[in-house]
Amino acid sequence: MLQQKIPATVITGFLGAGKTTIIRNMLMNAGGKKIALIINEFGDLGVDGEVLKGCGADNCTEDDIIELTNGCICCTVADDFVPTMQRLLERDERPDHIVIETSGLALPQPLVAAFNWPDIRTRVTVDGVVTVVDSAAVAAGRFADDHDRVDAMREQDASLDHDSPLEELFEDQLTCADLIVLNKTDLLDGEGIAAVRSEVAGRINRRPTLVEARNGEVPAIVLLGLGAGSEADIENRKSHHELEHEAAHASGEGHDHLHHHDHDEFESFALRLPAISDPAAFVERLRSVIEAHDILRLKGFVDVPGKPMRLVVQAVGSRIDTYFDRPWAAGEKRETRLVVIGLHEWDFAAVVDAVEKAA
């Protein structure tokens, strides 16, 4: 008897868009579906996996959460993702649904294409690609390049490559989507939300569904059950790099000038810091560090003396959220651990020094 294919949902979106929060809320309201999670993060500290393991959802235990930390999932499909999927599918108890959270720096296209591998395509289908957008960051112009300035510089030197890695990645994540979640709309007024809708729609040719969300609250029935079969439509969702490659091939040009998708534009490091007795003051000092060094993303856990629970810190730009998520476990080492992500050209030593002094 043929078994029905297991649906898989790919949740993508740039650093700090709110992917983990959306997944956490979805797990708590999944109507009893047994869900397996595959989580990929950029950086050495698995914050998102730890947060999801602490959510306490009966339908997704720690054994159902698989973390991939050997690199960005879009660059390690054959080495990491495919073997992980094969092991997951060999389990005695099949999940009802698989949810994959990509790194904020990942292209979803190679991952979706991997579902066409022979060992996977007969047993799993991509139910849908959900791209989460930080609406406030879009409204602030975080992903917009100054095109007039770029064009002027190219006129002076045609060999210059001024493509913004943030802008291209943002558009590639949108292009692959079946559903786009405009998250954090509570930080904008009606006019701001309308502008973000227009900005997002103007960056893609396809017309996926757009929904608005506050605090990552999207009903599971909206996220799961899209039935898109996205792997069969991957040819219509090509990334900038794929399109550039095709254009170069068609023109007979070499590939030396092409922009390759790697993560040389971004750097991350993890830090262990002492206990923080005054979290509010620590957050204010962190905000100053983030603004001074243009840190893209900062996240982790803080040990607050006298508190039985660990404090989660999540920063996107200078916007910082904190909350206590779970008690420190018996035998667990209490410590402050942070991962910091920024653009390659930052002064690494200065950033490390500034974060350490903030503690």
pLDDT, tens only, 298-332: 889 999 999 999 999 988 777 898 999 889 989 89
Judged against a pLDDT cut of 80, whether residue 30 lies above it is answered with yes
- Kindly state whether residues 225 and 287 are assigned to the same domain: no
- Kindly state whether residues 310 and 240 are assigned to the same domain: no
- Kindly state whether residues 200 and 70 are assigned to the same domain: yes
What radius of gyration do the chain's Cα atoms show?
21
> What local confidence, expressed as pLDDT, does residue 160 receive?
39
Residue 311 lies in a domain: yes
- Kindly state whether residues 147 and 286 are assigned to the same domain: no
Tell me the pLDDT band of 150, cut-offs 50, 70 and 90: very low
Contact 230, 126 (CB under 8 A): yes
Residue 259 lies in a domain: no
Out of 250, 274, 292, a domain closes at 250
Out of 224, 250, 276, a domain closes at 250
Question: What DSSP designation does 144 have?
Answer: -
CA distance 96 to 226: 14
- Give the CA count within 13 Å in the CB-facing half-sphere of 19: 29
Query: How many domains would you assign to the chain?
Result: 2
Contact 244, 172 (CB under 8 A): no
Tell me the pLDDT band of 255, cut-offs 50, 70 and 90: very low
- Kindly state whether residues 280 and 225 are assigned to the same domain: no
* Tokens coding 107: 């292209």
Domain that residue 305 falls in? 265-358
Question: What DSSP designation does 80 have?
Answer: I
Query: What average pLDDT does this structure show over 73-86?
Result: 67
Distance, C-alpha 160 to centroid of its chain: 29
- Kindly state whether residues 173 and 45 are assigned to the same domain: yes
3-state percent helix, strand, coil for the chain, nearest multiple of 5: 40, 25, 40
- Kindly state whether residues 20 and 168 are assigned to the same domain: yes
Tell me the pLDDT band of 158, cut-offs 50, 70 and 90: very low
CATH value at residue 15: 3.40.50.300
Residue 256 lies in a domain: no
* Tokens coding 187: 């930080």
- Kindly state whether residues 220 and 287 are assigned to the same domain: no
Quote the pTM value.
0.73
- Kindly state whether residues 327 and 237 are assigned to the same domain: no
What is the residue-averaged pLDDT of the chain? 81
Residue 187 lies in a domain: yes
Placement of tokens 């018996």 in the chain: 330
Q: Which residues contact 280 (CB under 8 A, 6 or more apart)?
A: none
Out of 218, 250, 282, a domain closes at 250
